[in-house]
Chains A and B, each alone.
Chain A
Amino acid sequence: MPFDTDPDVSDDVLLARFARGEASAARVLTQRLTPVVMAHAFRLLGNRAEAEDVTQDAMLRLWRMAPDWQPGTARVTTWLYRVTANLCIDRLRRTARSAPLDTVDEPPDERDGPAETLQMRARSAALQRALDTLPDRQRQAVVLRHIDELSNPEIAGIMDISVEAVESLLARGKRALVAVLAGRKDDLGMLQ
């Protein structure tokens, strides 16, 4: 699949082109947005196979919504974050998160590398395990803010809550993460 051939063209414009029947726009959008959705779904679900299912479902909803998209009203990624999070939360509620933590999928260990890379991967995996212990809304807020790096007002729009409520979820979520990871501060190189 070709790389994003025109990074200056906005998602809005590409979606409008897709709605007019341009298959090439779908190729660029797939390349550009699928990794974003996949990363977010994995962080919320902690399971690669389920994250893949959710990603495909969210992208399918994007294709179906394209003819009705109003350019300039919102960012396509904001819409996708909302849809992805809703699909993830539905799944989590259905399965009631019955899997014990040690069965949660680790990110695939495809690349062995220098110690620094291994440390990064260990930290990422440890964070994922800790994220999995948070209540759904706290986890969503923390992932959107600190991994997807969205602003609090953007998160408020996605989660349909006030900015103050976002701040509260973030504070409680991070406090809980620190508590969960407290026993691993040394091996993860966390500040004391």
Chain B
Amino acid sequence: MTETRDDDQLKDLFQAARACPQDPGAPLLARVLQDAEAELAARQTSAGSRTVSVRQTTQRDWGTGWVRALGGWPAAAGLSLATCAGVWIGVAAPEALTRTAQSVMSGGSEPDVFIFADGFGLNEEAM
């Protein structure tokens, strides 16, 4: 009841307030639009840098994929170690290995061949 009376008394004032809104004015509209355009430009710039970042991530993924294909980081480390050892042996081989290799290459000795007389236990038909 009281509220209805309040409504009646204030009705014309509310109507007047709706009829006289604050005009934002051209300068404010221009500032708001300028902000929107700046936001669009900033977003386009950040989208460009995101593309670069995705490309870098893709390259990193490619390397990680190879490691995974080799059996993970422990396997990759073992492979690297074996490669280094091979290179080292090639560059500075131990003396005994050099002598043996020379002997084999010059034909000065026959390699040991073991022949099992019983044909590894197989009978003649089978051989």
Contact = CB atoms under 8 A, between A and B. Distances in A.
Interface residues of B, number: 34
A47 to B, nearest CB: 11
B19 A63 contact: no
Contacts, number: 125
Interface stretch (B2-10, B49-57, B99-107, B109-117): B2-10
A38 B24 contact: yes
B33 interface: yes
Q: Is the interface of B mostly helix, strand, loop or mixed?
A: helix
B19 to A, nearest CB: 5
B20 interface: yes
Contact of A120 (B16, B22, B32, B39): B16
Contact of A124 (B2, B3, B17, B40): B17
Interface in A45-59: 48, 51-52, 55-56, 59
A174 B43 CA distance: 45
Contacts of B20: 107, 120-121, 124
Interface of B: 2-3, 6-10, 12-14, 16-26, 28-33, 35-37, 39-40, 43-44
17 contacts: A1-B33, A21-B40, A23-B36, A35-B24, A39-B21, A52-B28, A55-B24, A60-B35, A63-B40, A67-B43, A120-B16, A124-B19, A146-B10, A170-B3, A171-B2, A174-B7, A191-B9
